[in-house]
Structure 1
Amino acid sequence: MTKLGRFTDDAARAAYLRAYDAVAAAWPVPWTDIDVETSFGTTRVRRSGAGEGTPLFLFPGMQGNGLFWSQFITELAHDRTVYTPDVMGWAGRCVQTSPLRDENEIAEWAAETIAGLGADHVHVAGYSLGGWLAAVVAAHRPDRVASLSLLEPAPATFARPSWRVLWRFMVAGFRPTRAKMEKFNQWIAPRTRLTESGWAMLLASFDFRQGMPWARPLPEERFAAISAPLLVLFGGDTVVHDPGWAADHVRRLRPDADIETYPGVGHDMIWAIPDRAIPRFLEFVRAHEPARA
């Protein structure tokens, strides 16, 4: 896919941005929105928090944007800077001017965004498909990555998704309605809760034509060569992949990886057990602060 991300028409864009702005206004901590110029267009990044620690750079799940982290940002930004970017080629406030043709260009976009924020390196993390994005950045631009955390990562991070999972996504995305999406959420992440503005933004995002390449599993040798300290958290009851197989796969490729699987928790892990998953992530980050010069 080499097209630019775009809304189907001006009305669709306006509807999405109305909902986006309503969600953005409810952000629970002080923030600054930054527009970073890159070779691929302008990236919208929300900066929250402050502190001496290396910043966090967090990717959302599929069809998400930087506002995805609203429920968790208070704890995440307690004592350090947190950057929550919209994703180039996905619905949001990025303005794409050049196509992202492959994983190398995805990583270059992220690296340029990080540099434009004035950060030498960041702790990169992502939830679901954002985990795949985070892994791509760590694999192709290790110079910008202090650590890598995959939070209930999408199946495409490690292997091709099953046809059963793909079929569920296709059914939900064909002429989506709130009722269909609520049913889909009940299957994939039943403990997530969206505000009315959140629902409006999600439904409006289906009128966006993505300008991001389809996710493909990283080759084993490239994943194994990721040099950043690695944390992977799985929901033991996730419906999107086999967490036992995925954990074994990561251990085989990265024997030093820090891996934990939470029994009784699904793909909604960070909503189901935020009191465990978020502190676990932050503990890992603190343990892997780069040495100061």
Structure 2
Amino acid sequence: MTGIGAFRSPAARARFHAAYDRAFERLWPMPGEARDVPTSFGTTRVQRCGRVDGEPMVLLHGAGGSCLSWHRHVAALGARHPLVVVDTVGEPGRSVQAGPVRHGRDGARWLAQVLDGVGVSAAHLVGFSYGGWLALQLALHEPARVRTVALVDPAGFAAVRARFYLWLVASGCAALTPPSLRDRAAGWLRNATLRDADLVRLAVAAVAFRRRLPVPRPLTDDELRAVRTPVLALFAQHSAVHDARRVRARAAALLPVVRAEIVPHAGHALLMEHPELVTARILALASTSSPAAGQASHWS
């Protein structure tokens, strides 16, 4: 898919931005600085927060999301690292796309330009779902920019299942129901995001956004073997995106430096279901040092 992502009308954009600003005011847990970073793909909104010293950490949300997807993780991660929390260009958020992102290499170029714009030479990358695919693209194409990669039920290890799109439709319908029914649907669908009223309102407003980003093509065996950065891959046992056992086995077999784990009793919304576990695993990875270049081993 190529083209430029945008809202269907100025009124729809205004409604979304109002919902975004309300949600940000209610949910964002720490002070920081919002910055609009120019790139060749458009202006990218980032939130700078957390420590002023130490190794930076970049947080990348999933498809249809925004930086607010990380609101339950920012305080703990920011206590240990300077954070760059991104609204991905081409997604409903405060970024404004101006050029097409045609494939993974374009995604890596965009992310490298964002890092340049905030003065970060290299960082720990953390990506959820589609954001995990983008993190892998930067690790593949710009390895010097990446210290570690933490992936939370990521795309990129297998083709996205048709079941995922059914899950999205069902979750969208559930978002329109009264809170009591929505809470029950969150359990049926294994989608804890439905229990976060602010994010639900934001998702409803985001329906008016036309997304034009590429489908996350699975990395080939050779591409995965070329990712020498230490990787943490957390797969949800009941993910709608992929078969957790198969993608975990593929990650463990092909990534040279990896800890691949299946989180039991979790769905694709792992980020919202188990924030403490996810945060602890991310911090544990970032505290490790990379092995010597070219050394094949498993991080644990």
TM, length-normalised to structure 2: 0.88
SS in 2 for 1:153: coil
Aligned position for 2:296: none
The CA deviation at 1:17 is 0.2
Q: Percent identity?
A: 33
Q: 1:165-219 deviations in whole A, cap 9, x for unaligned?
A: 333335656x886139948754543333554332221111111111311221122
Q: Please, which moves more after superposition, 242-251 or 184-193?
A: 184-193
Question: Counterpart amino acid of 1:7?
Answer: F
Structure 1 pair 275–167 and aligned structure 2 pair: CA distance change class (3 A): closer
Structure 1 pair 279–43 and aligned structure 2 pair: CA distance change class (3 A): same
The CA deviation at 1:288 is 2.9
Structure 1 pair 190–103 and aligned structure 2 pair: CA distance change class (3 A): closer
Structure 1 pair 253–289 and aligned structure 2 pair: CA distance change class (3 A): closer
Aligned position for 1:22: 22
Give yes or no for contact 2:229–2:290 (8 Å, CA) kept in 1: no
Structure 1 pair 40–73 and aligned structure 2 pair: CA distance change class (3 A): same
Residues 1:80 and 2:57 are matched in the alignment: no
SS in 1 for 2:213: coil
Structure 1 pair 74–115 and aligned structure 2 pair: CA distance change class (3 A): same
Task: Give the length in aligned residue pairs.
Answer: 288
Question: Counterpart amino acid of 2:133?
Answer: W
Structure 1 pair 38–190 and aligned structure 2 pair: CA distance change class (3 A): closer
Question: Counterpart amino acid of 1:117?
Answer: V
The CA deviation at 1:61 is 1.7
Structure 1 pair 231–194 and aligned structure 2 pair: CA distance change class (3 A): same
Q: 1:99-141 deviations in whole A, cap 9, x for unaligned?
A: 1122111110100000110011111111122211211221122
In structure 2, distance between residues paired with 1:129 and 1:114: 18
Out of 162, 165, 179, the position equivalent to 2:177 is 179
Structure 1: 5+ residue stretches without partners: none
What are the equivalent positions in structure 2 for 1:9-158 lying under 5 Å apart? Answer: 9-26=9-26, 27-154=28-155, 157-158=156-157
The CA deviation at 1:290 is 9.8
Structure 1 pair 223–161 and aligned structure 2 pair: CA distance change class (3 A): same
Q: Please, which moves more after superposition, 118-127 or 193-202?
A: 193-202
Aligned position for 1:227: 228
Aligned position for 1:2: 2
Give yes or no for contact 1:16–1:200 (8 Å, CA) kept in 2: no
Structure 1 pair 56–290 and aligned structure 2 pair: CA distance change class (3 A): farther
Structure 2: 5+ residue stretches without partners: 293-300
Q: Please, which moves more after superposition, 252-261 or 26-35?
A: 252-261
In structure 2, distance between residues paired with 1:159 and 1:48: 34
Question: Counterpart amino acid of 1:144?
Answer: R
In structure 1, distance between residues paired with 2:57 and 2:6: 28
SS in 1 for 2:201: helix
Aligned position for 1:166: 165
What are the equivalent positions in structure 2 for 1:243-254 lying under 5 Å apart? Answer: 243-254=244-255
The CA deviation at 1:221 is 1.1
Tell me how large the CA RMSD over aligned residues is. Answer: 2.4
Structure 1 pair 69–289 and aligned structure 2 pair: CA distance change class (3 A): farther
Give yes or no for contact 1:19–1:198 (8 Å, CA) kept in 2: no
Give yes or no for contact 1:188–1:268 (8 Å, CA) kept in 2: no
What are the equivalent positions in structure 2 for 1:254-269 lying under 5 Å apart? Answer: 254-269=255-270
TM, length-normalised to structure 1: 0.90
